Amino acid sequence: MAENVPDYSDVPEISDYKYGFRDKDVSVFRSKRGLNRQIVEEISRMKGESDWMLQFRLKALEQFEKMPMPDDLNSKWFSLLPGDLSELDFNNITYYVKPSERQGKTWEEVPDEIKQTFDKLGIPEAEQKFLAGVSAQYESEVVYHSMQKELEDQGVIFCDTDTALREHPEIFQEYFGTVIPTVDNKFSALNSAVWSGGSFIYVPPGVKCEVPLQAYFRINSENMGQFERTLIIADEGSFVHYVEGCTAPIYSTDSLHSAVVEIVVKKNARVRYTTIQNWAPNIYNLVTKRAVCEAGGHMEWVDGNIGSKLTMKYPAVVMKGEGGKADILSIAVAGKEQHQDAGAKVTMLAPNCTATIISKSISKQGGKVTYRGLAKFGKNSEGSKANIKCDTLILDGESTSDTIPYNEILNDNIMLEHEATVSKVSEDQLFYLMSRGLSENEATQMIIMGFIEPFTKELPMEYAVEMNRLIKFEMEGSIG
Amino acid sequence: MSNKPNLKLKDIKVEIEGREILKGVNIEIKGGEIHAIMGPNGTGKSTLASALMGHPKYEIISGEAHLNGEDLLEMEVDERARAGLFLAMQYPSEISGVTNSDFLRSAVNAKRGEGNEISLMKFIREMDSKMDVLEMDQKFATRYLNEGFSGGEKKRNEILQMMMLKPGIAILDEIDSGLDIDALKVVAEGVNSMRNDEFGCLIITHYQRLLNYIKPDFVHVFMQGRIVKSGGPELAERLEAEGYDWVKEELGIEDETVGKG
């Protein structure tokens, strides 16, 4: 074992990327590369939007153009350059692609080529098991969407965001852009100008959705930005679990994914938002996600980041009302030439709020993981608590990890705990597992699975299985 | 060749970081036999156990070791395990996030090989019955591997693994240390339940105590990195009654340890 030379022959090369199949392009409309007023107007016209949304988009475009490239993505407390964005060229991206004229209501109506892609991703299979409703985003427009009658009867709205704008304008306008204002950062401004698709959920007071609502996203065009916009409103005392999984095929030039996710958690409501993202290694994944909690509201982010060239994502919870609660659980896996700059932000503005952050990161083959977090206690955060735990597993000598916590404390009567560990797979652990007959690879995988188990155990069963498969695939042969 | 497992060591010498610890160990263990290696601390007993299993820290610099006629020293750690060698460790590692039962099933399947995996139901039934023998609470199946286990719980867990994996040759490295008398009896019962022609065992221990419950066929005294005296069960009894001094005297050994300085 000791004299083993690392064998990288099994390591997936870029061309082997598991979901890197590319289908024939079936789009009926594709905007020109680059971004200007005409393109934004075109997008809005194609979608048949009201003037209100067009003006919103145009204003956002102005703001996007004015804002500098971030050396700070998410406001001033990021004083360091989080990730390298120098190769990102806004003029070389297609901002809108509409894959087919109309949206499929039943599986049969979905075009065959798109269906084949979903088949490869296992969507219908997944549906049979757990789905309450599927809202799958193929390129920029939702093409397939079904929903169980039960949810409808309860008054739950679950549709793509474009549909919500058309069919539920009052509730849409009341909340859209209120959690993450356009000017929050350059990428939220960009998303506000060109957004397309995403999921919209409204859960009426007291309604508890028993089954998770799920969506599957996929970028299928070279250099096409994916700018989905998700808005979830959980009214008083309600509960919803939204699950989203992403894979993307591989292309030769860089692709940008820049989503905005806004969550409104009303009094005593609870929202759980689960994401697994497995981007191809050339994708910039720059996502702004934030929830606002009213009194007794409970927001849970479960966030898994695998792949991409650079991910910058810090799920945030702002606790505005007394007794607000935030749980943020994340994993990040960075391999060769990948940088996962991920973390969490919690802001406590009322008494007796609690926040728990658990971050697990793995770096290998020269990959870089950064935990970047904010814990902010406002003047009125009397009796609030935050507990932050960051664990990193580094698989080889060339990979790195950083932990960058920011704390802002304006109240004396609070509690803040921060714990960080960095570990390696130990020789004795490997020996132990191998002495029971597991190969070195199997043993390493088992240790890694164990490391991320606090995350996987929170996933719905089928996602946990998929997650384990992904991690196994990622780790194959990556240990010498 | 018969079906009886066989482990044969010839003049095994082992170094740790350039220091010679084992200075020529010879022993043959066959199916149906239980051997005990006894000796004071620091004489190299545990080194023998770890080196045979293939721990990367230990370098076998000369000698031969054959398991069922095959060259053990050519095999990786996992190959040794799959060939039927088992080591119950003195200090088993803790693996967070991996449940005991998931781990055991993977290990059982690794040995059975692809396409011949044990069915889940059969596995659970078998594990349940072995845990009953070892008086282990069912909750140990779902606890993380050795994490937060007491010393005694870890030892039982090692024996549970042995019973599930059914090795041809097992080495038990100080499996009795830290066990109270009740736990000792339970562990001994587990080992005794495996006694048959398809199972050979090498017990490494300081004390004769364990050998009251697992009757050895052969007893070897280990000093200065090798076996210095062999005999039957009566040898263990004499060691218990009189200690090791008479052996040292008889053989003219002043310092029984190895690798000091």
ipTM of the complex: 0.96
Average pLDDT, stretch B89-99?
94
| Residue A431: closest C-alpha in chain B | B55
Q: Using one digit for the tens of pLDDT, what is the confidence trace for B64-92?
A: 999 999 999 999 999 999 999 999 999 99
DSSP A2: T
Residue A396 within any structural domain of the chain: yes
Report the DSSP beta bridge partners of residue A231.
Answer: A200, A262
What confidence category does residue A4 fall into, taking pLDDT thresholds of 50, 70 and 90? very low
pTM above 0.90, yes or no: no
Give the burial string for A41-76 (b: 16+ CB within 10 Å, else e): ebbbeebebeeebbebbeebbebbeebeebeebbee
CB–CB of A391/A403 below 8 Å? no
Q: How far apart are CA B179 and CA A235, in angstroms?
A: 57
Which domain does A298 fall in, by range?
Answer: 17-427
Interval B169-176 mean pLDDT: 95
First to last CA, chain B: 45
Closest Cα in chain B to A429: B93
Cβ neighbours of residue B98 under 8 Å, at least 6 residues apart?
A: A446, A447, A449, A450, A453, B144, B145
pLDDT band at A102 (very low <50, low <70, confident <90, very high): very low
- How long is chain A? 480
Give me the mean pLDDT over the A202-212 stretch.
91
Put simply, the answer to whether A428 touches B93 (Cβ < 8 Å) is: yes
Does residue A416 carry a pLDDT above 80? yes
CA angle B37, B42, B46 (to 5 degrees): 50
- Please state, as a whole number, how many other Cβ atoms lie within 10 Å of the Cβ of residue A36: 13
Looking at the predicted structure, is the pLDDT value of residue A217 above 80? no
Whether A431 sits inside 8 A of B80 (CB atoms) is no
Ramachandran region, residue B69 (left: φ > 0; alpha: ψ -120 to 50; beta: rest):
left
- Residues A48-80: pLDDT tens digits? 999 999 999 999 999 999 887 765 444 443 434
Alpha helices in A26-83 (DSSP H): 37-46, 51-66
Instruction: State the burial class of residue A255 (Cβ atoms within 10 Å of its Cβ: 0-12, 13-18, 19+).
Output: buried
Q: What is the pLDDT of residues A308-356, one digit of tens each?
A: 889 999 999 999 999 999 999 999 999 888 999 999 999 999 999 999 9
What is d(CA B140, CA B104) in angstroms, rounded to the nearest whole number? 12
Taking 90 as the threshold, does the pLDDT of residue A83 lie above it? no
Interface with B, mutate which of A431, A440, A442, A456 (most B CBs under 10 A): A431
Å between A449 CA and nearest CA of chain B = 7
- Inspect the interface and report whether the beta carbons of A450 and B93 lie closer than 8 Å: no
For the four alpha carbons of A296, A210, A258 and A33, in that order, the dihedral sign comes to negative
- For chain A, what is the domain count? 1
Q: What is residue A460's predicted lDDT score, i.e. its pLDDT?
A: 79
| pLDDT number for residue A2 | 40
Q: Nearest CB to B81: which of A436, A449, A450?
A: A436
Calculate how close chain B gets to A3, using CA atoms only, in Å. 9
Cβ <8 Å between A1 and B54: yes
Q: CB distance from B118 to chain A under 8 Å?
A: no
Q: Quick check: A401 and A390 in contact, CB under 8 A? A: no
Is residue A27 over pLDDT 70? Answer: no
- CB of A38 less than 8 A from some CB of B: no
Question: How much is the average pLDDT of A166-190?
Answer: 93
**For position B259, what pLDDT does the model report?**
60
The set of residues, in sequence order, having a beta carbon less than 8 Å from that of A66 and lying 6+ positions away, is: none
**Which has the minimum average pLDDT: A70-79, A197-206, B88-97?**
A70-79
Class of the CATH domain delimited by B6-251: alpha beta
Note whether residue A386 is domain-resident.
yes
- The pLDDT score that the predictor gives to residue B1 is 47
- B148 contacts chain A (CB < 8 A): no
Q: Kindly report the nearest CA distance between residue B99 and chain A, in angstroms.
A: 8
The answer to whether position A351 is within a domain reads yes
Q: Most confidently modeled of A27-31, A88-92, A107-111, B3-7?
A: B3-7
Q: Does A48 touch chain B (CB under 8 A)?
A: no
**How far B77 CA sits from the closest chain A CA (Å)?**
6
A277: closest CA of chain B, how far (Å)? 22
A-chain residues near B89 (CB < 8 A)? 432, 435
Residue A112 pLDDT grade (very low, low, confident, very high; cuts 50, 70, 90): low
User: CB distance from A446 to chain B under 8 Å?
Assistant: yes
Q: Is the CB of B95 less than 8 angstroms away from the CB of A450?
A: yes
CB contact under 8 A, B76 and A433: no
Confidence class of residue A26 from pLDDT cuts 50, 70 and 90?
Answer: low
Contact state of B103 with A443 under an 8 Å Cβ cutoff:
no
Mean pLDDT of all residues in A385-402? 92
Nearest to B165 among A436, A443, A454 (CB): A436
The stretch B219-231 carries a mean pLDDT of: 95
Q: Which of the residue ranges A27-41, A327-341, B175-189 would you say has the lowest mean pLDDT?
A: A27-41
Least confident of A25-39, A367-381, B47-61, B223-237: A25-39
Largest CA distance in chain B: 58
Model confidence band, residue A13 (pLDDT cutoffs 50, 70, 90): very low
User: Which is more confidently placed, A307 or A122?
Assistant: A307
Mention every residue, 6+ apart, whose C-beta is less than 8 A from residue B254: B248
Residue of A nearest to B94 (CA): A429
- The per-residue b/e assignment along A224-237, b for 16 or more CB within 10 angstroms, e otherwise, is bbbbbbbbbbbbbb
How far CA A144 is from CA of A109, A122, A194, A226, A249, in Å, comes to 8, 14, 21, 17, 19
A429 neighbourhood in chain B, CB within 8 Å = 93, 95
